[in-house]
């Protein structure tokens, strides 16, 4: 049977022998407020209830009072509604109908939710337009005509925020809240939060009346205990794991992240750095995407350089969501490093479901899938996709992320959002990224943000009376420009501030720092500072001074070997057993000692440690590698014992996976600090290893291989998916490619020094003889592409700029996204090769063959393409600005959308009988091209378009 709210209210009045009052002088709603303030939850009296029924037409009449009275006090509207129904049952000796219960309790629950949410905004004056209350009272009457039946009641219990009641209540509340000082956008957001929050009080009310009116429980058709368990579990998770994130202590200091955090700016990935016209602070950007109904399909993807605060942002933003969006959206913060594969085939949806089960304290008996519960919508904040240590291809992971977000948009019971962070450039080798990624990059600080951070830093209580004028030093002439620039990076600014405050920084070292060594100097000084803090309890005798030195040397070795264990286990966790196996000295309390250096127990990985800041473990690994390189630089190529020792040490240090660009940067910076380093000899011994490796001498042997020895070591002491899925070939490939990277970087350094550049020249494919082509590199690439999840280009592609690849055979080779800027590819065979989005700016491609090559979106600006064969090549959307295309053959090439502005085209051929004319469109840019009139076989349509005679 369908009834209206006014009919149900009249039925209540009749049951209590109450008639509506004709006294129009009494302010409507005051009786409700008075009853709520005086109610005894255990024993409500008829005297309290009668004035409510006499003077009101619904519980929502209380909204006619100033909201400050409703929000500013500890009032339980839910208790009023529940006890009203209990008293009704006692008087009538019968259970209220389910629709009667829902109509009364939903009002009380909605009022309770209003109090919850509006109380979070104490600075807002909700009562600036009380003169409009009479108009509001008229609008309030519309709810009296809402029709209700049993089925509608069940739907309201099941999902209040999607119910007709919620729509009506929200409309009324919006009319009450909208004032000149409160935007419609905020009102809309608040009403949605209030409607979502109402569900918890309806469930609690049903459970509360269960013993007194059991028929309501029977008719509700909802698993009340399970729903309450979900609500309680989420509350506990937010309290224990989200609200505490901003309060976590920074390093070993007494202040928290909240005390020093400032949001940095972001701009869309791919834009020119410092194009600040499009920059927003990262929090504003994220909020804008989440709250934009047109972007429900978009995955929020935040990338940045190391040390710019991705993880801190995740922690702070998760708490902001808790405070300002929950329960409309509930934040779930997941460190991707903590995810273990739930099966051999990774499934993002199953993983998120498993994380929710743990986070929300669901028992094994709870079969509810929270991903499909209409009353729960989550913002999953997935921190650091580069820290994934499960055995899954990154491209597959990103595809799953994109597919999940599309599903959330299309299925009404989901509605979740995904925000992911990771290091910049990690995704550049994925050729077909999903279109629903909203990608931004965190920029370095500008001077205003740096000043804001330093001001917050100066105000910290622990800095009172200490040296905090870092800003003065950074602006002084004695501070090198490289350090001034580096101080715009949050991590390094923080480390500088700590050491400057404690007056432990060796500024003479700092003044000598250059672009390559600036980060190295700061990190070296930071760890020297930490080590100096760790003192043995001994007297000051000369003997004990020596013991102090030995102890500090031991600590240094402990740190570097720990870093090796972390980096070789995937860069995330390090096995304690592996660390101990690498130490030869007597062992101390290793976990406690490492904790002093921010290597802390892993949250979900038993017997493992993790590094508090990934930059630290990468730097310490680089220190270990640098010491080995310095050691090898003194080896004699004729001394086979030394060379065999080096070969094993290379596999031991580098045969685990790809070294990161950050590690390479630190290694070169550390090497440049070594006085009188034998650069040329170091290059020779590494090149000797590389050449032997290319010939398969380390893997094609009947004896136990170095790769096998390393593999057994890793599998014995480290347990994770990546290690378990390594084989001898993978170990061998990583060792060789990492040496290739070092050779490329040493050559790059040598080219900046006249003494070294003629002696240090690296040919990855070997030197060519006469007019022959060398195919060693292609064979190497094919060998390396057997790796799962990695490929040749994803490992070494970003290190290939200015590489010597003259006359290299690379037919049908995939080099998409590779950095080949300034590379020498003259006479190279690149026909049918894949060069999508490849950086070939200022490269030398003189006489190269690129027949039917895929160069879509490639950057060929300033490239030398004299006599290059580009017949049938796809150059759509390629950048050929200022390129030298003299005598190039472009027959049949696709130039749609290509930028040829300023290109030199004298003698170029635009068509032949086999491939036909070039293809172009209105988006092809011919502005300021030179020599076009002297080109061959110009299409007549192009002549007409360019108004050529």
Question: How does strand 378-383 pair with strand 417-423?
Answer: parallel
State the DSSP code for 292: -
Q: Helix, strand, coil shares of the chain as percentages rounded to 5? A: 50, 10, 40
Distance CA 754, CA 408 (A): 59
Residue 255 · residue 460 · CB < 8 Å: yes
The full DSSP string for 301-317 is EEEE-TTS-HHHHHHHH
Positions of E strands within 139-186: 147-148
Residue 830 · residue 848 · CB < 8 Å: yes
pLDDT mean values, one per 10 residues, the chain (949 residues): 84 80 58 78 69 84 88 84 86 85 92 94 83 77 84 89 93 87 90 96 88 72 83 94 94 90 91 62 95 95 94 96 96 90 71 86 68 94 89 86 95 93 88 91 94 94 90 87 91 93 76 81 90 66 70 90 92 88 78 88 82 93 97 96 96 94 96 94 97 94 92 83 81 96 97 92 91 93 81 91 96 94 97 96 98 97 98 97 97 97 96 95 95 92 86
Which of these, 833, 910, 827, lies nearest to 864 by C-alpha position?
Answer: 827
pLDDT tens-digit map of 540-551: 555 567 777 888
Cα-based angle 812, 817, 822 (whole degrees, multiple of 5): 90
Distance CA 355, CA 366 (A): 14
Which of these, 50, 56, 184, lies nearest to 108 by C-alpha position?
Answer: 56
The total number of residues written for the chain in this structure: 949
Distance CA 218, CA 210 (A): 9
Q: In this structure, how many other beta carbons lie within 10 angstroms of the beta carbon of residue 372?
A: 11
Please compute Rg for the chain using Cα positions.
35
Supply φ then ψ for residue 882, to 5 degrees. 60, 15
pLDDT for 753:
92
Half-sphere exposure of 285 (CA within 13 A, CB side): 23
Question: How does strand 299-304 pair with strand 437-442?
Answer: parallel
pLDDT for 24:
39
pLDDT for 366:
58
pLDDT for 507:
66
**Distances in whole angstroms, Cα of residue 887 to Cα of each of 678, 837, 938:** 45, 24, 13
Structure tokens at 754: 């006249």
Task: Give the SS3 label for residue 215.
Answer: helix
pLDDT for 707:
95
The full DSSP string for 416-446 is -EEEEEEETTTTTT-SS--TTEEEEEEPPP-
Question: How does strand 3-4 pair with strand 147-148?
Answer: antiparallel
Only one residue has tokens 């409160």, namely: 182
Only one residue has tokens 């300023």, namely: 902
Distance CA 717, CA 565 (A): 9
Positions of E strands within 804-907: none
Alpha helix stretches (DSSP H) within 16-65: 30-38, 46-55
User: Rounded to an integer, what is the distance from CA 751 to the centroid of its chain?
Assistant: 36
User: Rounded to an integer, what is the distance from CA 763 to the centroid of its chain?
Assistant: 37
pLDDT for 605:
73
End-to-end CA distance of the chain: 86
List Cβ neighbours of 283 (8 Å cut-off, separation of 6 or more).
263, 313, 316, 317, 320
The full DSSP string for 480-533 is -HHHHHHTTSHHHHHHHHHHHHTT---HHHHHT--TTTHHHHHHHHHHHHHHHH
List Cβ neighbours of 181 (8 Å cut-off, separation of 6 or more).
124, 125, 128
pLDDT for 221:
67
Supply φ then ψ for residue 250, to 5 degrees. -90, 125
pLDDT for 919:
96
718 CB burial (10 A radius; 0-12, 13-18, 19+): buried
pLDDT for 547:
78
Supply φ then ψ for residue 723, to 5 degrees. -65, -45
pLDDT for 26:
45
């Amino acid at each position: 049977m369908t009834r209206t709210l006014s009919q149900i209210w009249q039925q209540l009045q009749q049951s209590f022998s109450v008639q509506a009052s004709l006294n129009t002088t009494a302010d409507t709603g005051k009786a409700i407020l008075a009853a709520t303030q005086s109610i005894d939850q255990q024993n409500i009296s008829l005297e309290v209830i009668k004035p409510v029924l006499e003077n009101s037409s619904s519980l929502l009449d209380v909204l006619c009072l100033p909201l400050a009275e409703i929000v500013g006090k500890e009032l339980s509207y839910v208790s009023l509604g529940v006890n009203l129904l209990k008293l009704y049952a006692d008087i009538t000796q019968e259970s209220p109908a389910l629709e009667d219960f829902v109509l009364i309790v939903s009002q009380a629950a909605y009022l309770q939710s209003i109090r919850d949410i509006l109380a979070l905004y104490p600075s807002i004056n909700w009562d600036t337009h009380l003169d409009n209350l009479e108009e509001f009272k008229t609008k309030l009457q519309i709810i009296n005509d809402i029709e209700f039946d049993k089925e509608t009641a069940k739907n309201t219990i099941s999902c209040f925020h999607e119910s007709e009641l919620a729509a009506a209540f929200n409309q009324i509340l919006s009319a009450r809240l909208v004032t000149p000082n409160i935007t419609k956008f905020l009102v809309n957001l608040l009403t949605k939060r209030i409607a979502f929050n109402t569900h918890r009080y309806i469930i609690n009310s049903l459970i509360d009346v269960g013993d007194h009116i059991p028929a309501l429980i029977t008719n509700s058709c909802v698993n009340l205990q399970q729903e309450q368990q979900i609500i309680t579990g989420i509350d506990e998770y937010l309290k224990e794991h989200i609200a505490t994130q901003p309060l976590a202590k920074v390093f070993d200091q007494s202040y928290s992240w909240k005390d020093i955090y400032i949001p940095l700016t972001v701009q869309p990935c791919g834009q020119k750095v410092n194009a600040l016209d499009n920059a927003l602070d990262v929090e504003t950007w994220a909020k804008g995407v989440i709250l934009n109904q047109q972007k429900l399909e978009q995955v929020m993807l935040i990338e940045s350089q190391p040390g710019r605060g991705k993880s801190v942002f995740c922690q702070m933003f998760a708490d902001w969501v808790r405070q300002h969006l929950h329960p409309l959206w509930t934040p779930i913060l997941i460190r991707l490093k903590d995810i273990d594969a739930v099966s051999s085939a990774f499934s993002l949806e199953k993983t998120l479901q498993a994380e929710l089960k743990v986070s929300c304290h669901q028992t094994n008996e709870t079969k509810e899938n929270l991903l499909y519960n209409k009353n729960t919508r989550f913002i999953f904040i997935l921190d650091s996709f580069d820290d994934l240590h499960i055995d899954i291809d990154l491209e597959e992971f990103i595809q799953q992320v994109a597919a999940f977000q599309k599903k959330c948009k299309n299925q009404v019971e989901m509605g979740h959002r995904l925000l992911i962070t990771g290091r910049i450039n990690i995704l550049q080798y994925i050729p077909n990224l999903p279109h629903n990624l909203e990608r931004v990059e965190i920029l370095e600080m500008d001077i205003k943000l740096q000043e804001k951070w330093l001001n917050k830093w100066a105000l910290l209580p622990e800095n009172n009376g200490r040296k905090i004028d870092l800003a003065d030093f950074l602006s002084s002439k004695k501070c090198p420009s490289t350090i001034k620039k580096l101080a715009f990076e949050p991590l390094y600014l923080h480390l500088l501030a700590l050491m400057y405050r404690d007056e432990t920084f060796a500024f003479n070292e700092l003044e000598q720092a250059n672009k390559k060594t600036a980060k190295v100097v700061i990190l070296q000084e930071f760890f020297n500072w930490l080590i100096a803090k760790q003192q043995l309890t001994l007297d000051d005798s000369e003997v004990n001074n020596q013991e102090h030195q030995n102890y500090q040397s031991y600590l240094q070795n402990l740190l570097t070997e720990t870093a090796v264990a972390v980096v070789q286990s995937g860069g995330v966790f390090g096995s304690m057993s592996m660390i101990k196996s690498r130490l030869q000295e007597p062992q101390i309390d290793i976990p406690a000692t490492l904790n002093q250096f921010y290597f802390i127990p892993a949250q979900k990985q038993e017997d493992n440690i993790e590094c508090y800041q990934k930059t630290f473990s990468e730097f310490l690994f680089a220190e270990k590698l640098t010491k080995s390189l310095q050691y090898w630089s003194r080896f004699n190529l004729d001394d086979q014992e030394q060379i065999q020792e080096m070969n094993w040490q290379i596999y031991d240090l580098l045969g685990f996976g790809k070294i990161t660009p950050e590690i390479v940067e630190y290694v070169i910076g550390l090497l440049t600090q070594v006085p009188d380093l034998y650069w040329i000899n170091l290059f020779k011994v590494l090149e000797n290893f590389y050449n032997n490796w290319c010939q398969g001498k380390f893997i094609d042997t009947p004896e136990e291989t170095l790769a096998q020895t390393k593999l057994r070591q890793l599998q014995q002491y480290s347990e994770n998916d990546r290690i378990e899925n390594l084989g001898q070939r993978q170990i061998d490939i990583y060792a060789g490619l990492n040496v290739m990277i070092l050779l490329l970087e040493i050559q790059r350094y040598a080219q900046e020094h006249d003494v070294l550049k003629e002696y240090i020249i690296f040919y990855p494919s070997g030197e060519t003889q006469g007019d022959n082509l060398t195919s060693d590199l292609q064979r190497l690439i094919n060998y390396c592409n057997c790796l799962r999840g990695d490929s040749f280009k994803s490992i070494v592609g970003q290190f290939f700029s200015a590489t010597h690849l003259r006359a290299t055979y690379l037919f049908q080779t995939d080099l998409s996204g590779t950095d080949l800027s300034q590379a020498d590819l003259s006479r190279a065979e690149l026909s049918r090769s894949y060069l999508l989005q490849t950086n070939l700016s200022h490269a030398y491609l003189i006489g190269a063959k690129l027949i039917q090559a895929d160069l879509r979106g490639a950057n060929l600006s300033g490239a030398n393409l004299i006599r290059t064969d580009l017949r049938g090549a796809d150059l759509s959307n390629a950048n050929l600005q200022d390129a030298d295309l003299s005598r190039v053959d472009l027959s049949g090439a696709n130039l749609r959308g290509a930028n040829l502005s300023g290109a030199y085209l004298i003698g170029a051929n635009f068509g032949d009988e086999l491939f036909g004319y070039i293809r172009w469109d209105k988006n092809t840019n011919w502005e300021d091209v030179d020599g076009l009139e002297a080109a061959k076989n110009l299409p007549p349509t192009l002549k007409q378009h360019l108004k050529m005679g």
